[in-house]
Copies of this chain bind each other. A is one copy, B any other.
């Protein structure tokens, strides 16, 4: 009974995700679904990438949170179109939420949309949104063992960000173990080490995003 319902939900979500994907491809919109633990730096990464690409490409943001509009207010303050989705308890975004809010975001063709998922290393990985890129952000203070524990999230990632590298001197973080965990799940994983605080590594991440956007079908 449970499983049947879950399958129905997943199937319905997948169909809407495919419609979303088709629309994104038609309009050449690169959609980046950003997933991470609470406090890993999702909003900070979005703000840094927007800062680097402003005046070069049209961008928009969809903010997912259980409650509050704290992050959407940060995005709005820098003049980028943003829509807040409050899930009201729901632990992840789904394809229909994205479909519903996209018209209000009024994106031009050839643009980039950042979707900040609910802070959660578990549930968001199983719900496709129709996104172009699944980005997972880990952060140094969370510890090097996360890829071993949250396997489906790290296995699903097209790109993995290791954020808050500026805190490494103050923390027992074993970088080799982190990479060992990542490579056990995906041996060709794209990993970028960055610090939103110092700006280290942001340039390479931005180059990668732009190359993905330019090389999309």
Q: Which of A100-128 contact B (CB under 8 A)?
A: 118-123, 126
Distance to closest chain B CB from A193 (angstroms)? 16
A151 within 8 A of B: yes
Q: A143 interface residue, CB < 8 Å from B?
A: yes
- Are A121's CB and B167's CB within 8 A? no
Of the candidate stretches A18-26, A51-59, A64-72, A206-214, the one touching chain B is A64-72
Task: Report the Cα distance A150→B87, complex, angstroms.
Answer: 11
The residues of A with any CB-CB pair to B shorter than 8 Å are: 1-2, 5, 9, 37-39, 65-68, 70, 89, 91, 118-123, 126, 139, 141-143, 145-146, 148-152, 164, 166-167, 170-171
Q: 23 A-B pairs, CB-CB below 8 angstroms?
A: A1-B5, A2-B9, A37-B37, A37-B38, A37-B119, A37-B142, A38-B149, A66-B122, A66-B149, A66-B151, A67-B148, A67-B151, A68-B145, A68-B149, A89-B126, A91-B120, A120-B120, A120-B121, A120-B123, A141-B141, A166-B170, A167-B170, A170-B170
